[in-house]
A and B are shown apart, each in its own frame.
Chain A
């Protein structure tokens, strides 16, 4: 190799060095550029733009002129000093946490069931996945009809079962009951992903460990709590992070089933953000709300990632 360098003329060596640099550094970058531009355009730029707009009082007219007034932290101040916006953030957090807890509980339970060997397991597994495959808006429309006070299937079933209360029962008149109905739909649609993911994790645990534990006298509950879940802690954490992000971004189901009503009492952060932007044309405040959600989710994700790293360490 060194012999070639000695005998090769200087200009040829420079050209070879340039080609090596091109092939090692520039060419990969060029190949990555289209994908990079795509990712930048669809994720980084919108977040940056929303962040920028959150410091303005941008309205629809300003978009036509391209001139925005910068108002510092005013939009964030208005978000955190408004009783309504604070209640929306709190409501989103409480409802989101409840949905995550329910989704994880149901998902893990179903995965444990599917991990057992019984007749009809394949059919059950297919049935479990089905809700996940249904488009969210379509599912919400069907469930809204099922919860309808006059001709809903749910009231008919419950009334037929002897519950007199459910004759014409209005599921969406009070926020707590409305959220219960919405939570049923959300959990119904989101638990299959958790169940399937957990099932894959469960099947990666060697059977010998369970066998050894059984010989030592461990019961089913003890095996789940002391073997299964600790061994799948990283997976559970990742799934919890994903579920949390989904839960905080919930829009479709709530929008279809209640549109945030009655009297905006079931409105969550995503719907409030949409309403501020598209019905009030207050893009500055909508961007501030979007950034609040972004920072909350970024914070939750950071905590979980740290927990995962500690676990791996």
Chain B
């Protein structure tokens, strides 16, 4: 009995010592490994894209005799993953970052500045969103801008042409509602951000303006902002262009309704166009420039992503080499065209052999795209559902535009001041 006890105790102590030594050694092993980087890329929507990224990574590993730990992060949980990684200090070396997240995490010093020789090569709006203090923290990887996607078959049958401006949009929508069983336009509530905020620009207003001292001030509650929100919500409450449930719709719901032939128009990106046209013989799909607002502007949000190098990277040189490798012209063009977006550079887009549809999306990106204020607080505004809550309350009829936007502006200014 005594022997058994002694053996158990010795085994336990041995295991304990081994565990401690292994834990200590593991950290040492990581720090000594000089040719390994961890890369977080957003989960691509298709197996083809995932295979392509894996192929790029294998090519990089072969060229640099390096080891890349490529991790695909789902978009839905990526923000939480980045927050947790930064809080615990266990960050990847390189990551793909949503354009509105770059200023948010960049403001706390999470990313290393990017040394870019020729800033003019990049699409201004995409570069601007990654440079909160004028210093680029992310390299634009791919980009895209929304355009009007419409059911061309229905438009042709009704003798309609794609709406050029807000008035045309209302007329076309009323005709569709009167002549068909379809809903006219995607007035979504839950996913309203990228649909309603650009309307402020189209109305001739600004969401927020930067002061001479670098601080930001919300101007979303200006008459133009109010007109933009009122116009957007009126398509739901007054004209009935979308079903009641659209109050909680996201763009995915609008896309499904469009594909099912229940909705005649929605605002989407290249990938959305790809989804609604794939294996769709039921009707023809057209793409047009965003209808212009009263100011004559067609501005829309420049979406896409940056590649960032974390300041806490254990292998900064190799991490930077991976970013440079991914954004080389041939790879970026191959990746962007497969995903339905465009390269983040003007030259990259101009070098593409664009078809009729891509030409419309490219024009939106090159000539009509803008970024939201590149401020650290922006991510918090989106996280608090500041803008979508205002839209949904207006759609519920529980608040008027001016009151809702005054509250939004107050919250924004508090956020900017932090």
The answer to whether A and B interact is yes
Chain A interfacial positions (CB closer than 8 Å to B):
23, 27, 30-31, 60-61, 63-64, 148-151, 168-174, 258-264, 275, 277-281, 283
In the assembled complex, B108 has its CB within 8 A of some CB on chain A: yes
Smallest CB gap from B1: residue in A:
A23
Smallest CB gap from A259: residue in B:
B190
Separation of A148 and B89 alpha carbons in the complex (Å): 41
Least CB distance, A34 to chain B, in whole angstroms: 8
Separation of A280 and B376 alpha carbons in the complex (Å): 11
Q: Which residues of B contact A278 (CB under 8 A)?
A: 79-80, 83, 383
Smallest CB gap from A152: residue in B:
B245
Q: Which residues of A contact B89 (CB under 8 A)?
A: 63-64
Given known contacts A63-B86, A64-B109, A281 and B380 CB-to-CB distance under 8 angstroms: yes
The one of B110, B244, B389 in contact with A168, judged by C-beta atoms closer than 8 angstroms, is B244
Chain B interfacial positions (CB closer than 8 Å to A):
5, 9, 12, 79-80, 83, 86-89, 105, 107-110, 189-190, 243-245, 247-248, 253, 256-257, 260, 262, 379-380, 382-385, 388-390, 392-393, 395-396
Q: Which residues of A contact B86 (CB under 8 A)?
A: 60, 63-64
Whether the pair A264, B389 counts as a contact (CB closer than 8 A) is: yes
Q: Which residues of A contact B105 (CB under 8 A)?
A: 60
Given known contacts A149-B245, A173-B247, A278-B80, A261 and B392 CB-to-CB distance under 8 angstroms: yes
Least CB distance, B98 to chain A, in whole angstroms: 13
Pick the 6 closest A-B CB pairs, nearest first.
A279-B383, A149-B245, A170-B245, A61-B108, A63-B87, A263-B389
Q: Which residues of B contact A150 (CB under 8 A)?
A: 243, 245, 253, 257, 260, 262
Whether the pair B5, A170 counts as a contact (CB closer than 8 A) is: no
Separation of A263 and B392 alpha carbons in the complex (Å): 6
The one of A262, A277, A279, A280 in contact with B248, judged by C-beta atoms closer than 8 angstroms, is A262
Separation of A149 and B244 alpha carbons in the complex (Å): 8
Q: Which residues of A contact B396 (CB under 8 A)?
A: 173-174, 262-263
**For the complex, would chain A's binding face be called helix, strand, loop or mixed by DSSP majority?**
loop
Whether the pair B392, A279 counts as a contact (CB closer than 8 A) is: no
Whether the pair B83, A281 counts as a contact (CB closer than 8 A) is: yes
Whether the pair A23, B108 counts as a contact (CB closer than 8 A) is: no
Least CB distance, B17 to chain A, in whole angstroms: 13
User: Can you list 15 A-B pairs, Cβ within 8 angstroms, ordered by A?
Assistant: A30-B9, A60-B83, A60-B87, A63-B87, A64-B110, A149-B244, A149-B245, A150-B262, A261-B190, A261-B248, A275-B384, A278-B383, A279-B379, A279-B380, A281-B83
Q: Which residues of B contact A261 (CB under 8 A)?
A: 189-190, 248, 385, 388-389, 392
Given known contacts A150-B262, A263-B392, A280 and B383 CB-to-CB distance under 8 angstroms: yes
Least CB distance, B55 to chain A, in whole angstroms: 32
Given known contacts A27-B9, A64-B89, A170 and B244 CB-to-CB distance under 8 angstroms: yes
Separation of A74 and B343 alpha carbons in the complex (Å): 48
Q: Which residues of A contact B256 (CB under 8 A)?
A: 151
Whether the pair A279, B79 counts as a contact (CB closer than 8 A) is: yes
Q: Which residues of B contact A151 (CB under 8 A)?
A: 256, 260
Least CB distance, A168 to chain B, in whole angstroms: 5
Whether the pair B379, A172 counts as a contact (CB closer than 8 A) is: no
Least CB distance, A72 to chain B, in whole angstroms: 20
Q: Which residues of B contact A277 (CB under 8 A)?
A: 83
Smallest CB gap from B83: residue in A:
A278
Q: Which residues of B contact A281 (CB under 8 A)?
A: 83, 380
Given known contacts A263-B385, A281-B83, A173 and B244 CB-to-CB distance under 8 angstroms: yes
Least CB distance, A107 to chain B, in whole angstroms: 30
Taking A262-B247, A262-B395 as known contacts, 10 extra A-B pairs with beta carbons closer than 8 A to each other, sorted by chain A number, are: A27-B5, A30-B9, A149-B243, A151-B260, A172-B248, A174-B396, A262-B190, A263-B388, A278-B83, A279-B380
Separation of A171 and B256 alpha carbons in the complex (Å): 18
Smallest CB gap from B190: residue in A:
A261
Least CB distance, A1 to chain B, in whole angstroms: 18
Given known contacts A64-B86, A262-B248, A280 and B108 CB-to-CB distance under 8 angstroms: no
The one of A30, A61, A172, A259 in contact with B12, judged by C-beta atoms closer than 8 angstroms, is A30
Smallest CB gap from B257: residue in A:
A150
Smallest CB gap from B312: residue in A:
A64
Separation of A63 and B354 alpha carbons in the complex (Å): 47
Whether the pair A279, B243 counts as a contact (CB closer than 8 A) is: no
Separation of A144 and B253 alpha carbons in the complex (Å): 12
The listed residue with most A CB atoms (<10 A of its CB), out of B89, B109, B245, is: B245
Whether the pair A280, B380 counts as a contact (CB closer than 8 A) is: yes
Separation of A130 and B388 alpha carbons in the complex (Å): 37
Whether the pair A64, B108 counts as a contact (CB closer than 8 A) is: yes
Q: Which residues of B contact A30 (CB under 8 A)?
A: 9, 12
Separation of A252 and B253 alpha carbons in the complex (Å): 20
Whether the pair A173, B248 counts as a contact (CB closer than 8 A) is: yes
Q: Which residues of A contact B248 (CB under 8 A)?
A: 170, 172-173, 258, 261-262
Whether the pair A262, B189 counts as a contact (CB closer than 8 A) is: yes
Whether the pair A60, B108 counts as a contact (CB closer than 8 A) is: yes
Whether the pair A23, B393 counts as a contact (CB closer than 8 A) is: no
Smallest CB gap from A149: residue in B:
B245
Whether the pair A172, B5 counts as a contact (CB closer than 8 A) is: no
Q: Which residues of B contact A174 (CB under 8 A)?
A: 396
Whether the pair A172, B380 counts as a contact (CB closer than 8 A) is: no
Q: Which residues of B contact A260 (CB under 8 A)?
A: 385
Separation of A174 and B247 alpha carbons in the complex (Å): 10
Separation of A280 and B253 alpha carbons in the complex (Å): 27
Whether the pair A172, B245 counts as a contact (CB closer than 8 A) is: yes
Smallest CB gap from B2: residue in A:
A19
Q: Which residues of B contact A60 (CB under 8 A)?
A: 83, 86-87, 105, 108
Smallest CB gap from A23: residue in B:
B5
Q: Which residues of A contact B107 (CB under 8 A)?
A: 61
Q: Which residues of B contact A170 (CB under 8 A)?
A: 243-245, 247-248
Least CB distance, B397 to chain A, in whole angstroms: 11
Smallest CB gap from B80: residue in A:
A278
Separation of A121 and B380 alpha carbons in the complex (Å): 53
Q: Which residues of B contact A263 (CB under 8 A)?
A: 385, 388-390, 392-393, 396
Least CB distance, B212 to chain A, in whole angstroms: 26
Least CB distance, B356 to chain A, in whole angstroms: 31
Q: Which residues of A contact B244 (CB under 8 A)?
A: 149, 168-170, 173
The one of B108, B243, B392 in contact with A262, judged by C-beta atoms closer than 8 angstroms, is B392
Q: Which residues of B contact A63 (CB under 8 A)?
A: 86-89
Least CB distance, A251 to chain B, in whole angstroms: 13
Separation of A27 and B10 alpha carbons in the complex (Å): 11
Least CB distance, A242 to chain B, in whole angstroms: 28
Separation of A125 and B12 alpha carbons in the complex (Å): 45
Q: Which residues of B contact A168 (CB under 8 A)?
A: 243-245
